[in-house]
């Protein structure tokens, strides 16, 4: 397919084009952004493909993107992406946009025999017999004018989306998995998908269970402070305070500057700049919200080799189901979610074992995964018998 390529950098032209393509049954799109320099990523380019045209939207010159965002939230227009969660998370962060009617080629590929997450180039090569260049990933998307080679790569990022949608939809229909892919995409169409627990970083630190109560409060406040500082100056959180220095700050702050002078790991410029802030964080009793969080904090699970063996064995049953049905195990049961289930964490979401996943795994395997019982293994000649007990 030969597309007409248009570069949009004027607001009026952009709005006119968006009004036209808003009547389409579908569009494909991708975004280019720079996220390593700022707290909030800088959106630099949007690529949009229709049946006949490709539009490259210079978002550094077009201030009002509302006419495009209206298409993203319009359930009458199908949005085709590859690894679209990155694009949708950015649009939600910047504009509060929650997409409707989505189709993702990476997700669809995971239902028809590809490992998940499969790269765009690999799927294009296998499905459309086209080899894509790889070097566009290092383009400076903030530079103006944009490098012509980078623009060519940007075109390729959307040029093949319609063809992939057609090919993968045919395969989904053949395997009767259209509804499964639709169910998986639908999670992006709720605002809750994009909302982040403000204490997520605290939960990721196992050593919180080793701290005294007041130090747990300090740790919570420290992560909130780092996030707020990063947002205030629009710089990465790691620029404010690197994660590897958090434990140092926890130990040394109560002693003031003297607590840091003997520590060689934390740069002096950082602690001199912020030590007064950190000392303020220590002060004051726990708030109601902080107390509620700590009261609901999952207790550390005692080591249980038997349970760990059982859950790992069950996971191999899950992978076997995936092999037989040519579905990526990483799509069916993401390893992070499985690890939460295996460890018995209270924040495991049981919804992960419902819907198409339950249909594929079967009621008995889902029951075994959720019951947390014990598997007994016995041999009868060459036959291995497994039985599950509560």
Q: What is the CATH number of the domain that holds 74?
A: 3.30.420.10
How many domains is the chain built from? 3
The full DSSP string for 238-282 is HHHS-GGGHHHHHHHGGGTHHHHHT-SSS-HHHHHHHHHHHHHHH
pLDDT tens string 203-213: 877 788 889 99
Kindly state the tokens that stand for 107.
């997700």
58-61 own/partner pairs: CB under 8 Å, 24+ apart: 58/7, 58/8, 58/9, 58/144, 58/146, 60/142, 60/144, 61/9, 61/10
- Say whether both 173 and 206 belong to one domain: no
Q: Alpha carbon of 96 to those of 93, 224, 232: distances in Å? A: 6, 21, 19
pLDDT band at 28 (very low <50, low <70, confident <90, very high): very high
Q: Choose the weakest-confidence range: 43-47, 296-300, 358-362.
A: 296-300
DSSP class of residue 285 equals P
Considering the domain boundaries, does residue 300 fall inside one? no
The verdict on 183 and 79 lying in the same domain is: yes
Please tell me whether residues 291 and 332 are part of one structural domain: no
Which among 152, 167, 194 is the end of a domain? Answer: 194
What is the pLDDT, as a whole number, of residue 137?
A: 57
Do the Cβ atoms of 318 and 365 come closer than 8 Å?
A: yes
Cα angle for residues 152, 156, 160 (degrees, 5° grid): 155
Q: Is residue 33 part of a domain?
A: yes
Nearest to 352 by CA among 369, 328, 375: 369
Rounded Cα distance, 129 and 125, in Å? 5
CA distances from 2 to 66, 136, 151 (A): 29, 21, 16
Region 360-366: what's the mean pLDDT? 88
- Mean per-residue pLDDT of the chain: 91
Is there a single domain that holds both residue 277 and residue 361?
no
149/187 same-domain check? yes
Within 10 angstroms of residue 118's Cβ, the number of other Cβ atoms is 20
This prediction has a pTM of 0.90
Answer with the one of 272, 295, 318 that is the final residue of a domain.
Answer: 295
Question: Band of the pLDDT at 390, cuts 50, 70, 90?
Answer: low
- Degrees, nearest 5: CA angle 111-115-117: 95
Question: What residue numbers bound the domain in which 288 lies?
Answer: 200-295
Percent with pLDDT over 90 in the chain: 69
């Amino acid at each position: 397919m030969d597309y007409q390529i248009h570069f949009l950098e004027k607001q009026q032209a952009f709005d006119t084009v968006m009004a036209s393509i808003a009547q389409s049954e579908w569009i494909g799109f991708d975004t280019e952004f720079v996220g390593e320099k700022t707290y909030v990523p800088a959106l630099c380019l949007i690529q949009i493909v229709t049946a006949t045209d490709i539009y490259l939207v210079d978002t550094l010159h077009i201030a009002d993107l509302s006419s495009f965002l209206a298409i993203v939230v319009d359930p009458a227009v199908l949005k085709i992406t590859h690894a679209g969660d990155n694009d949708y998370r950015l649009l939600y962060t910047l504009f509060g946009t929650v997409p409707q009617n989505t189709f993702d080629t990476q997700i669809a590929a995971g239902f028809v025999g590809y490992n998940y997450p499969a790269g765009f180039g690999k799927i294009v090569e296998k499905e459309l017999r086209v080899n894509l260049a790889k070097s566009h990933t290092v383009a400076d998307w903030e530079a103006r004018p944009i490098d012509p080679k980078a623009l060519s790569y940007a075109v390729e990022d959307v040029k093949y989306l319609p063809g992939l949608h057609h090919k993968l939809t045919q395969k989904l229909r053949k395997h009767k998995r259209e509804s499964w892919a639709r169910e998986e995409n639908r999670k992006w169409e709720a605002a809750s998908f994009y909302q982040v627990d403000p204490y997520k970083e605290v939960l990721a630190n196992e050593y919180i269970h080793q701290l005294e109560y007041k130090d747990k409060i300090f740790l919570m406040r420290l992560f909130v402070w780092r996030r707020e500082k990063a947002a205030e100056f629009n710089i990465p959180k790691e620029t404010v305070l690197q994660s590897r220095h958090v434990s140092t700050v926890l130990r040394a702050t109560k002693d003031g500057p003297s607590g840091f002078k003997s520590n060689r790991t934390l740069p002096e410029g950082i602690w001199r700049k912020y030590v007064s802030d950190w000392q303020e964080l220590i002060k004051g009793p726990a708030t109601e919200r902080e107390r509620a969080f700590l009261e609901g904090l999952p207790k550390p699970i005692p080591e249980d080799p038997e349970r760990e063996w059982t859950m790992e064995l069950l996971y191999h049953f899950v992978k076997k189901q995936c092999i037989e049905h040519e579905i990526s195990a990483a799509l069916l049961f993401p390893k992070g979610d499985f690890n939460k289930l295996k460890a018995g964490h209270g924040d495991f979401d049981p919804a992960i074992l419902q819907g198409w996943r339950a249909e594929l795994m079967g009621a008995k395997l889902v029951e075994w995964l959720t019951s947390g019982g014990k598997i007994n293994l016995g041999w009868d000649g060459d036959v291995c018998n497994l039985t599950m007990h509560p």
